[in-house]
Structure 1
């Protein structure tokens, strides 16, 4: 089973690389403003997870720079469970006014990104 998952993961990553979406072009000042807004966000993800790839492709399409964190490594895994409540990826951590909000479903994350940044 490990070999099948590993192989499927590599196929997903290959197609994600080959068919990468085109980045949205913005004026420099607007892009800097968006980058400042996304500094308090983090995407907890697995590299080859198809739902995580879906969210990363949308981030690329919108040219949004959100820090990605590998949830398989121990300190990040423990943080996701302790603060977010469950070990599920993709998970977008949004910190506003010192308050953290955790979005777990890829569709919810993409809808949030579209509403806020598109």
Structure 2
């Protein structure tokens, strides 16, 4: 019975995955327009961030859409197909839950933000269109 259930969900992922990715591509939000100096400062700040994600995870898609809306070039790390990224996520955050935002502070300390709602709230607060 367990193998039947696994096969069902695997098939569901194979069928729905491309549909979800197509919807993400078709509904991309327009990014925030900033001046070149302001965008350069945002780009610099984004170098200390990395998003661990699965390509077809609906919560990851929400976070990626918010990143596009805010025009944030945050590195995306595939924790589903890349064992090195999955291991780094497990070691750093203690779980392979995605989406997970790795935040490296100026003092070198690393924080891990696991919930999609919390990640989007953090990004909005830190990179609001009113300033950086």
Instruction: Name the SS of the counterpart of 2:112 in structure 1.
Output: strand
1:24 aligned to which of 21, 24, 32: 32
Runs (4+) off by over 3 Å: none
Q: Residues 61-112 of structure 1: CA distance to partner in whole angstroms, max 9, x if unpaired? A: 0001100000021111111111111110000000001000000000000000
Aligned length: 118
The alignment status of 1:85 with 2:91, answered yes or no, reads no
Which structure: larger Rg?
Answer: 2
Instruction: Name the SS of the counterpart of 2:125 in structure 1.
Output: helix
TM-score normalized by the length of structure 1: 0.97
Q: Residues 37-72 of structure 1: CA distance to partner in whole angstroms, max 9, x if unpaired? A: 010110000001100000000000000110000002
The alignment status of 1:42 with 2:75, answered yes or no, reads no
1:58 is aligned to 66
Instruction: Name the SS of the counterpart of 1:59 in structure 2.
Output: helix
Instruction: Name the SS of the counterpart of 2:96 in structure 1.
Output: coil
RMSD (CA atoms): 0.7
1:100 is aligned to 110
Gaps of at least 5 residues in structure 1 are none
Shift of 1:10: 1.0
Gaps of at least 5 residues in structure 2 are 1-7
TM-score normalized by the length of structure 2: 0.87
